[in-house]
Structure 1
Amino acid sequence: MRWRILALLFFARIGMGFQFQTLASVGDGLIVAFGLDYASVGLLIGLFMAPGLILALPAGYLGRLISDRDMAVLGLMALAMGGLVSALAGGSAGIGAGRVIAGIGFLVINLYFTKMVADWFEGREIATAMSILVMSWPFGIAMGQVGHAWVADLYGWRVPFQIASVYCLLAASAVFFFYRARSDLPAVKSGGAGRLTRQEWLLVLCASGAWGVFNAAYVTYLSFGPKVLQDLGQTAIAAAGVISVGSWLMIGSGALCGQIVDRFGRRNLVLTVCMSAAVIALWLLSQPGAGLAASLLFGLVGMAPAGVIMALAGLALRPEVRAFGMGVFFTIYYAIMLATPPAAGAILDATGQAQGPIWLAMILFACVVPLAIGFKYFKAGSGMFAQKARTSI
């Protein structure tokens, strides 16, 4: 049953990446249509993350009142509505409003889909399950990288938003009719729903920081990697196709990486190898003729541990505080994600070099490893704390 649930959530969550990628794919068209600069495009990309900074904790609390399924359906509907608002916009303000509405849905989907998978796979193959779930994000983005650029070239920048919205509405219907919650989990008690232990706070801080910088680096690569290849002489559509190769490949490599960690452990060793490969791949991107090799390395190794990192959230929290803890997790995640795209765009405006934002992405990828080491340290500390408490008694 749990694998059927995972498949349903995977295909529904594709809409999240598919809708997100619309702005990055039509960014050049918006610059022409509305006279924007790259910092402004980066801000519009980042607005997708803005609601999470304010609403992640309230969304976590709502899990006490509304079922996971209904919250997920509402999130998918908001994602669809935001895309339609952006499609109908007459300027950057209207597009920004649509991005914020879609961002509310993005927050809810992120939080509750992660919780749903953590609930179903607690104690068994969670790294594999999370790896499969999070691969829906690059799957949707890869669809958008190829499809949105082609559709926008033929029909204009508004149509990709509309197509992504239709997908999200279909996904909402599927989740509403086919999702079933696991029945044997501990009940959430209203009095203690928001009480994380000191250790859980520390673990969530490390896990959310690692997930935030990892995704911020990935989004920077998606948004500005094609510009690097265009500066080397490739067309916009060809550059988008090369960059999308990494997103397609990480779907398979991510599931394999999750299996490796579930079976053999050594999570931090795996993360160190993969983040080193990600940094090397981003450096290769600016070398003439190395774009495809960089994308292959990035997808096969650099992005493979996405689910392993996301699984840290499930490992950090008890089931009875998971909804609220996920709210904390995503508040920190969204703060990082909101700040990064405008910063990357400002670097491009200031330097005039598309490789500038890519250097920022390299630094962010490198930050994953120390945060994962911190998570292991605080997780191991729980045994010492418990032993000290028993000794003192």
Structure 2
Amino acid sequence: MSGSRYRWVILILSYLCMLGLAFSIQSLPPILTLIIKDLDLTHAKAGLLVSLFALPTIFLAVLFGSFSDRWGSFKMGVISLILIIVGALIFALSHSFLYAGLGRVITGIGATAVFIVSAQIVSQWFRGREIGTAMGIFNTVMPVGAIVCFTTFGRLAESLGWRVPIFITMIIGAAGLTSFVILYKPVSKRPQGIASEKERQPGLFSSLLKVGTLMWSVGFCWMFFSASLVSFITFAPDFFISKGYTIGFAGFLTSLLSWGPLGLSPLIGRLMDKVGNNEVFIAVGGIIMAMAFYSIARGGNFLLPMVVMGLGVALVPAPVFSLLPKISRPENLGLSFGILSMFASMGMLFGPYVTGLLKDRTGSYEVSFIFLSIFALLLTLTALVLRSKRRGD
């Protein structure tokens, strides 16, 4: 198969690998109420279980990104998918917060590298050719994972126990590992200036100095987006259950915010190829998300705000991911996605924990969700600063 066609196989492969990450993140919120009861957790500890998933990324993402540039995507991909499987197994067999937390940390280590490798190989194969479209499709993986998890895992856990959805997550990870071993190929024809995976790469600190301020600004955008979205997804089912909804319908309501990204991300990615203006899309997405968070915190009708939030969420990932190849050196793509992953995990680390802590302290989710709306507005502000910097360069 020619390289121009095989890049679509690579996109499908990266999608399958990312499903393991998506299910690892999204499998907990629909069953979190059951886990809280079974393991006798506070809401702060429950939020910490989600946050622990992100803890390794803060310290390892940049290093893993550099390793992926230096050692090659194949080794990193295989090791990372194995770690996702092992971490899910430990979590599924846990009977205490300690072992559950250990499983989440191990899964988080694997997920860090899976994200970097998957995004890196898509960027390499599509660089200069429909990168926005490819990233738009690539970014539907999280909505797909959310929709499947939130519409099925709650009911499944009620019937068979909360551990069964975690075992399903293991199976998804194993399918990704098998596919990666069989289908992965390095990009065979590189544009001038892109180093082979086996060629000697500069040191980590030398590479970090060459990244530039634009990359760090994109990282802050992704941090505020991740902090607000992951925190909301973590506690939304429990919030809806507290309002009198069943666990199944609470999962359905939460899944509504994923339909917008699923349907619109490829279209938005295509627009990135045609018109650019990535920062404008990101800024508008932040405003819409902030309005939706506030409406849910203060209102009693949740259907419309959830749909609106889905539209806001759809406006952010594809513009962020398609922006990275435009502002990064070709030989530093792995490092750039490592930086992005590090910032995302910083948001995931403190966001859910603080959100759960505010719930424990105040007894309601109103303050927690207003707190998330502030993060969404910070996303908008950072995107506008990024636009100003790019226009000034």
**TM-score, structure 2 normalization:** 0.91
CA distance in 2, matches of 1:264, 1:249: 21
* 2:341 counterpart letter in structure 1: F
Q: How far apart are residue 151 of structure 1 and its match?
A: 1.4
Counterpart of 2:127 in structure 1 is 122
| SS of 2:71 mapped into structure 1 | coil
Aligned: 1:165 with 2:175: no
Residue 243 to residue 191, structure 1, CA distance change in 2 (3 Å): closer
Deviates more, 1:169-178 or 1:259-268: 259-268
Give the stretch that moved more between structures: 182-191 or 171-180.
182-191
- Please report how far the alpha carbon of residue 133 of structure 1 lies from its aligned counterpart in structure 2 after TM superposition: 1.2
In structure 2, the residue matched to 1:133 is: 138
Provide the residue aligned with 1:291 in structure 2: 302
**Alignment correspondent of 2:358:** 347
Counterpart CA distance in 1 for 2:104 and 2:278 is 35
Partner of 1:17: 22
Question: Aligned residue for 1:387?
Answer: none
Superposed displacement of residue 241, structure 1: 0.5
CA-to-partner distance for each residue in 1:335-387, whole Å, 9 max, x for gaps? 222111111111111111123222222111112222223333333444xxxxx
Aligned residue identity for 1:246: L
Number of aligned residue pairs: 382
Whole-Å separation in 2 of the counterparts to 1:267 and 1:320: 23
Q: Deviations over 1:172-204 (max 9, x none)?
A: 101111122212232155352533476733112
Q: 2:325 aligns with which of 293, 306, 314?
A: 314
Tell me, in whole angstroms, the C-alpha distance in 1 between the residues paired with 2:383 and 2:289. 16
Residue aligning to 2:212: 201
Change (3 A) 1:316 1:265: closer
C-alpha distance in 2, partners of 1:128/1:356? 38
1:331-342 correspondence to structure 2 within 5 Å: 331-342=342-353
Match for residue 356 of structure 1? 367
Which residue identity does 1:269 align to in structure 2? Answer: V
Give secondary structure in 1 for the equivalent of 2:185.
coil
Question: What is the one-letter code of the residue matched to 1:202?
Answer: T
Q: Which sections of structure 1, spanning at least 5 residues, go unmatched?
A: 383-393
With over 3 angstroms needed to count, the CA separation of the structure-2 counterparts of 1:45 and 1:197, relative to structure 1, is closer
**What does residue 275 of structure 1 align with?**
286
The 2-side partners of 1:198 and 1:104 are apart by 25
The answer (yes or no) to whether the contact 1:57–1:327 under 8 Å persists in 2 is: yes
Q: Is the 8 A contact 2:279 2:386 kept in 1?
A: no
The one-letter code sitting in structure 2 at the alignment partner of 1:18 is: F
Bigger shift: 363-372 or 161-170? Answer: 363-372
* 1:40 counterpart = 2:45: yes
> Any stretches of 5+ residues in structure 2 without a counterpart?
none
Identify the range of structure 1 (301-310 vs 186-195) with the bigger mean alpha-carbon deviation.
186-195
The 5 A counterparts of 1:222-233 are 222-233=233-244
Q: Following superposition of structure 1 onto structure 2, how do residues 1-393 of structure 1 map, counting pairs within 5 Å?
A: 1=5, 2-185=7-190, 186-187=194-195, 190=200, 192=202, 194=204, 195-196=206-207, 200-286=211-297, 290-382=301-393
Q: 2:34–2:162: 8 Å Cα contact kept in structure 1?
A: yes
Letter in 1 for 2:176: A
Secondary structure of the structure 2 residue equivalent to 1:285: helix
Does the aligned pair in 2 maintain the 1:193–1:321 contact within 8 Å? Answer: no
Indicate conservation of the 8 Å contact 1:196/1:325, yes or no: no
TM-score for both structures, normalised by structure 1: 0.91
User: How far apart in 2 are the matches of 1:354 and 1:361?
Assistant: 11
Q: Kindly provide the amino acid, as one letter, of the partner of residue 226 in structure 1.
A: P
- Asked if the contact 1:228/1:286 (under 8 Å) is kept, the reply is no
SS in 2 for 1:26: helix
Alignment RMSD (CA, Å): 2.1
- Percent identity over the alignment? 26
Separation in 2, partners of 1:112, 1:378: 28
Paired with 2:210 and 2:331, the residues of 1 have a C-alpha distance of 15
Q: 1:366 to 1:127 in 2, by over 3 A?
A: farther
| 1:51-73 deviation line (CA, Å, top 9, x unaligned) | 10111122123224532133222
